[in-house]
């Protein structure tokens, strides 16, 4: 990945930070993008040859400004759409604002980010777009209708864009993580964790490094003949 530039959203912590680190270790110049300036500065300091930009994926203006800043050092060759939010609740009582907020960030934000890099990738006739979906985008999950819809939407977006962009040597793939140990999952009760573990054939929760390894592969030249696919990294919990 030498001389390639990668931008990772939601890169200040968790899966995004692990992906940014893995791409940097593979030789890419990495741009970390997230909302929290302090966490971005701290994260970027851990990764040699990296820079950062503030971005709010719910705002088209913020997305345009962030990508314009990121592209000052050259076009983005690799985009990892990882940023996501949750606003859980049963569908019967879910507020429209909570539905809209999750769809805006997780799905519309990812689409708008992709739009910012397509022209450059088409000109270079090379590109890697990797959308981080979720196992629940395939299997569903009660209490997360908005989040599940956004992650399922990313799968459809991935497949459509893969067909549109293939002739320009731009691959578009998705990764569907299972239960991964991150800050977001650390607050779950031990009973809930035990119940989930019972449904994972590999009998362990995933690590952020497991997702980062999949991202590094799909971003590499080794994955040049793979497009429109959803790579499940879930320990076998959904097949």
Active-site amino acid positions: 147
Residue 123 CB burial class (10 angstroms; 0-12, 13-18, ≥19): exposed
Residue 24's closest CA among 44, 42, 50, 45?
50
Short-list 222, 205, 160, CA closest to 15: 205
- What does the buried/exposed string (b/e) look like for 218-228 if buried means 16 or more CB atoms within 10 Å of the residue's CB? bbbeebeeebb
**Among 160, 164, 44, 32, residue whose Cα is nearest residue 107:** 160
Place of tokens 């930009």: 53
How far is it, in rounded angstroms, from Cα 80 to Cα 128? 8
3-state secondary structure of 5: strand
Q: Within 13 A of 149's CA, how many CA atoms are on the CB side?
A: 16
């Amino acid at each position: 990945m030498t001389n390639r530039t990668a931008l990772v959203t939601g890169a200040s912590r968790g899966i995004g930070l692990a992906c940014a680190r893995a791409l940097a270790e593979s030789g890419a110049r990495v741009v970390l993008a997230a909302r929290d300036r302090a966490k971005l500065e701290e994260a970027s300091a851990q990764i040699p040859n990296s820079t950062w930009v503030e971005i709010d994926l719910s705002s088209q203006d913020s997305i345009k400004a962030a990508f314009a800043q990121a592209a000052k050092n050259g076009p983005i060759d690799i985009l990892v759409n990882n940023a996501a939010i949750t606003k859980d609740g049963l569908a019967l009582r879910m507020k429209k604002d909570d539905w809209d907020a999750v769809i805006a960030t997780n799905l519309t934000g990812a689409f708008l980010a992709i739009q910012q890099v397509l022209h450059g990738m088409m000109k270079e006739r090379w590109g890697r777009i990797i959308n981080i979906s979720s196992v629940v985008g395939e299997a569903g999950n009660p209490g997360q209708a908005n989040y599940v819809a956004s992650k399922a939407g990313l799968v459809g977006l991935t497949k459509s864009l893969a067909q549109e962009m293939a002739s320009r040597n731009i691959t578009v793939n998705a990764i569907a993580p299972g239960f991964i140990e991150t800050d977001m999952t650390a607050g779950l009760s031990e009973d809930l964790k035990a119940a989930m573990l019972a449904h994972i054939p590999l009998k362990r929760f995933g690590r952020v490094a497991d997702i980062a390894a999949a991202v590094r592969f799909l971003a590499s030249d080794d994955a040049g003949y793979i497009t429109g696919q959803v790579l499940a990294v879930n320990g076998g919990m959904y097949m």
